[in-house]
């Protein structure tokens, strides 16, 4: 898990979940955006990237895709001359599962027309068929991504029905998924497919991408200052033009630079911005030797050594003090200004009552069960006598309890609650038995205030615990791998009670490694039904 705070809008990313910061509108970043435009982000746009061979266009596209994957955008890379293996080799530091989940590589020239889109046998018709097939495939990917995203969103919001955190989550319900597309390069497209077919392809692709509010970069080898008819034609279909050049530096090194020639509706001063390609393929803009990150307060790239307050970098004392002043004033509401709030790592205990929504159960009995659960939790020492800071978030049919310090607290609470439940459930009829499932997980969350001014949290930590709980059945105490492994490392007794029970794939192909806590006195030694059915 990493905190990706060198981006301007501060997203917490993890293997499992990358959450946005509740942006109200879809905005994107392209590499070097601040240097190119003086802005931190721009609306989704289609760009033509023009430059001579060797200027770094493909590496710019690579950075664009890399940034997108780290921000959990969905990325499509289209190249008629690259293989999938070559594409994957561009991202050696990304795990295959992450790359698979967040990106798709398409080589239109290698498409096989299984659907007989092009029925003519001559080459031209076949090539056109490949382009049509590519368009159809892209459209299908985008539709599926949007559907999955919407389903995922509604699932999360549905679960938080009636909960305090619903208010927080609802603000992001109208967001769209961010899509990034690279077409690299049009020059090769023209050679392989012919000018008219490719221009038609670009025109149709542009419409699809605009429909899905995607951002895209089309690369073209050439010179914008002496454009040919092809450059002019492509330029008319995009929102902006980027240009790259390469010159020999004073020390015989190659100096690369880029400028934003034009972009619809955004005021900026076109200026050449130097950039460097590092050994690992990353692009560094401006005074490349000294830029380390962006200032949390003013958003500008920091040249030289940044100042730090907590984990946030600043480029001047003035910026740091301004942030401190605003934090002192807004407190945990600082995120309402769009500035990042302090992030804390919390250990979560997420519980819900099994079968509470059973239609045969009267509302009165449902309420009784909720009240009993609340009382039983209140009787557990791990909750009642613990002096560490904690936060309780009712979720309607259960609750989430976040412990700020001790990872053992949430497990101890689960064990103690099971003990009390076993006593309570003795002699009860099926309808009266109080069944619960528990998910334990830890991770970073933002501290925020809800509309009533109550302290609340939101972030991957709580989402992870909920997802772990969702896998379980009655009496399961399931743990995320990060929490289980840190407990096992802590005390030998946990080695005995925490058992790895396998991987479970949730949406977007994301896999969670699950542990189950059980013994003769607590937990459920059976594997969860969902895991059984998946395997």
Partner 1 sequence: MPKSIVFHSYKGGTGKTTLAANYAALLARKGFRVFLLDLDVYAPSLQTYFEMEPDRWVNDFLTGDTELNDVIVDLTSIVVGNNYDNSSSTPSSTHTSSANGKLWLGFSNPKKEEIYKLEGGKQEKVQFLRRFIVMREQLFSNFKADYVIVDTSPGIRYWSINALAIADVLYLTLKSGDLDIAGTKKMVSEIYSSFTKFGAKPYLILNKVAGYCVPHPTIQPIEHSSGTLSTSSIVVQQEQEKESSMDSLSRETGISVISAMPCYCDIQFSKKEYLTVLRNPQHLFSKKMEDLTQQSQIQML
Please say which residue, 269 or 426, places its beta carbon nearer to partner 1. 269
Report in angstroms how near the CB of residue 18 gets to partner 1 at its nearest: 17
Please say which residue, 329 or 532, places its beta carbon nearer to partner 1. 329
Report in angstroms how near the CB of residue 216 gets to partner 1 at its nearest: 21
Report in angstroms how near the CB of residue 55 gets to partner 1 at its nearest: 28
Report in angstroms how near the CB of residue 450 gets to partner 1 at its nearest: 16
Report in angstroms how near the CB of residue 326 gets to partner 1 at its nearest: 5
Report in angstroms how near the CB of residue 38 gets to partner 1 at its nearest: 7
Q: Which long-range contacts (CB under 8 A, 24 or more apart) does 315-319 make?
A: 319/295
SS3 166: helix
Report in angstroms how near the CB of residue 337 gets to partner 1 at its nearest: 6
Nearest CA among 485, 493, 502 for reference residue 521: 493
Residue bearing tokens 């059984």: 532
Residue 302's H or E segment, with its range, is strand 301-303
| 303-322 footprint of partner 1 as x/- string (CB under 8 A) | -------------x-xx-xx
Q: What are phi and psi of 50, to 5 degrees?
A: -110, 145
Q: Under rule CB under 8 A, which residues in 19-38 are in contact with partner 1?
A: 21-25, 27, 37-38
Q: Under rule CB under 8 A, which residues in 230-269 are in contact with partner 1?
A: 266-267, 269
Please say which residue, 155 or 333, places its beta carbon nearer to partner 1. 333
Beta-ladder partners of 504? 512
Q: Does 273 bind partner 1 (CB under 8 A)?
A: no
Q: Does 324 bind partner 1 (CB under 8 A)?
A: yes
* Out of 97, 329, 384, 496, the residue judged to bind partner 1 by CB under 8 A: 329
Please say which residue, 330 or 404, places its beta carbon nearer to partner 1. 330
User: Helix count (H) and strand count (E) of the chain?
Assistant: 17, 24
* Out of 13, 16, 17, 41, the residue judged to bind partner 1 by CB under 8 A: 41
Please say which residue, 81 or 322, places its beta carbon nearer to partner 1. 322
Report in angstroms how near the CB of residue 155 gets to partner 1 at its nearest: 24
Residue 204 DSSP symbol = H
Q: Does 9 bind partner 1 (CB under 8 A)?
A: yes
Residue 110's H or E segment, with its range, is none
Strands 511-517 and 455-458: unpaired
Q: Does 191 bind partner 1 (CB under 8 A)?
A: no
Burial call 496-518: b when 16+ CB within 10 Å, e when fewer: ebbeebbebebebebebbbbbbb
Q: Does 474 bind partner 1 (CB under 8 A)?
A: no
Per-residue 3-state assignment (H helix, E strand, C coil) for 428-448: CCCCCCCCEEEEEEEEEEEEE
Q: Does 178 bind partner 1 (CB under 8 A)?
A: no
Q: Does 337 bind partner 1 (CB under 8 A)?
A: yes
Q: At what angle do helices 186-193 and 195-211 cross, to 10 degrees?
A: 130
Please say which residue, 303 or 365, places its beta carbon nearer to partner 1. 303
Please say which residue, 169 or 221, places its beta carbon nearer to partner 1. 169
Tokens for 400, please give them. 């989430």
What is the distance between the alpha carbons of residues 408 and 445, in angstroms, rounded to a whole number? Answer: 18
What is the distance between the alpha carbons of residues 94 and 14, in angstroms, rounded to a whole number? Answer: 12
Please say which residue, 336 or 503, places its beta carbon nearer to partner 1. 336
Question: Rounded to a whole number, what is the distance in angstroms from the first to the last CA of the chain?
Answer: 26
* Out of 298, 307, 361, 372, the residue judged to bind partner 1 by CB under 8 A: 298
Q: What are phi and psi of 418, to 5 degrees?
A: -60, -35
Q: Is 44 exposed, middle or buried (0-12, 13-18, 19+ CB in 10 A)?
A: buried
Q: Does 432 bind partner 1 (CB under 8 A)?
A: no
Tokens for 1, please give them. 């898990």
Strands 18-19 and 11-13: antiparallel
Please say which residue, 21 or 84, places its beta carbon nearer to partner 1. 21
Please say which residue, 246 or 266, places its beta carbon nearer to partner 1. 266
* Out of 227, 338, 500, 502, the residue judged to bind partner 1 by CB under 8 A: 338
Burial call 198-237: b when 16+ CB within 10 Å, e when fewer: bbbbbebbbebbeebbbbbbbbbbbebeebeebbebbbeb
Kindly determine how many residues on this chain lie close enough to bind partner 1 according to the rule CB under 8 A: 33
Report in angstroms how near the CB of residue 5 gets to partner 1 at its nearest: 14
Please say which residue, 309 or 473, places its beta carbon nearer to partner 1. 309
Report in angstroms how near the CB of residue 299 gets to partner 1 at its nearest: 4
* Out of 326, 344, 361, 372, the residue judged to bind partner 1 by CB under 8 A: 326
Q: Does 328 bind partner 1 (CB under 8 A)?
A: yes
Contact positions vs partner 1 (CB under 8 A): 9, 21-25, 27, 37-41, 266-267, 269, 297-300, 316, 318-319, 321-322, 324-326, 328-329, 336-339
């Amino acid at each position: 898990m990493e905190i990706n705070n060198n981006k301007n809008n501060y997203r917490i990313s993890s293997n499992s979940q990358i959450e946005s910061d509740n942006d109200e509108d879809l905005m994107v970043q392209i590499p070097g955006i601040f240097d190119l435009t003086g802005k931190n982000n721009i609306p989704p746009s289609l760009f033509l990237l023009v430059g001579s061979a060797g200027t770094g266009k493909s590496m710019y596209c690579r950075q664009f895709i890399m940034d997108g994957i780290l921000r959990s955008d969905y990325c499509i890379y289209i190249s008629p001359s690259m293989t999938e293996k070559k594409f994957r080799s561009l991202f050696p530091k990304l795990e295959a599962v992450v790359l698979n989940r967040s990106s798709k590589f398409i080589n239109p020239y290698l498409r096989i027309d299984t659907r007989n889109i092009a029925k003519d046998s001559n080459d031209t018709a076949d090539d056109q068929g490949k382009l049509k097939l590519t368009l159809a495939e892209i459209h299908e990917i985008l539709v599926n991504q949007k559907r999955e995203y919407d389903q995922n969103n509604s699932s999360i919001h549905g679960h938080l029905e009636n909960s305090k955190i619903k208010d927080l989550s609802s603000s992001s319900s109208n967001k769209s998924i961010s899509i990034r597309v690279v077409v690299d390069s049009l020059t090769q497209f023209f050679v392989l497919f012919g000018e008219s077919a490719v221009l038609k392809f670009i025109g149709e692709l542009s419409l699809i991408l605009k429909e899905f509010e995607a951002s895209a970069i089309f690369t073209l080898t050439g010179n914008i200052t002496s454009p040919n008819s092809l450059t002019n034609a492509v330029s008319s279909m995009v929102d902006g033009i980027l240009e790259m050049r390469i010159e020999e530096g004073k020390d015989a090194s190659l100096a690369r630079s880029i400028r934003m020639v034009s972009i619809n509706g955004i005021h900026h001063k076109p200026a050449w911005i130097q950039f460097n390609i590092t050994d690992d393929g990353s692009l560094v803009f401006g005074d490349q030797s000294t830029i380390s990150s962006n200032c949390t307060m003013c958003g500008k790239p920091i040249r030289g050594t940044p100042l730090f307050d907590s984990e946030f970098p600043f480029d001047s004392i003035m910026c740091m003090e301004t942030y401190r002043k605003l934090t002192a004033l807004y407190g945990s509401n600082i995120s309402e200004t769009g500035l990042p709030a302090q992030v804390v790592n919390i250990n979560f205990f997420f519980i819900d009552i099994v079968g509470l929504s059973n239609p045969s159960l009267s509302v009165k009995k449902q309420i009784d069960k909720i009240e009993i659960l609340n009382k039983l939790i209140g009787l557990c020492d791990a909750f009642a006598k613990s002096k560490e800071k904690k936060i309780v978030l009712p979720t309607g049919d259960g609750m989430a309890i976040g412990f700020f310090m001790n990872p053992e607290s949430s497990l101890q609470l689960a064990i103690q609650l099971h003990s009390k439940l076993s006593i309570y459930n003795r002699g009860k009829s099926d309808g009266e038995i109080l069944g619960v499932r528990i998910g334990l997980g830890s991770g970073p969350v933002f501290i925020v205030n809800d509309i009533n001014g109550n302290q609340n949290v939101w972030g991957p930590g709580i989402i992870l615990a909920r997802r772990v709980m969702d896998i379980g059945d009655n009496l399961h105490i399931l743990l995320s791998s990060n929490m289980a492994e840190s407990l096992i490392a802590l005390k030998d007794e946990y080695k005995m009670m925490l058992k790895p029970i396998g991987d479970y794939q949730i949406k977007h192909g994301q896999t969670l490694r699950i542990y189950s806590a059980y013994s003769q006195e607590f937990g459920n030694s059976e594997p969860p039904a969902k895991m059984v059915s998946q395997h």
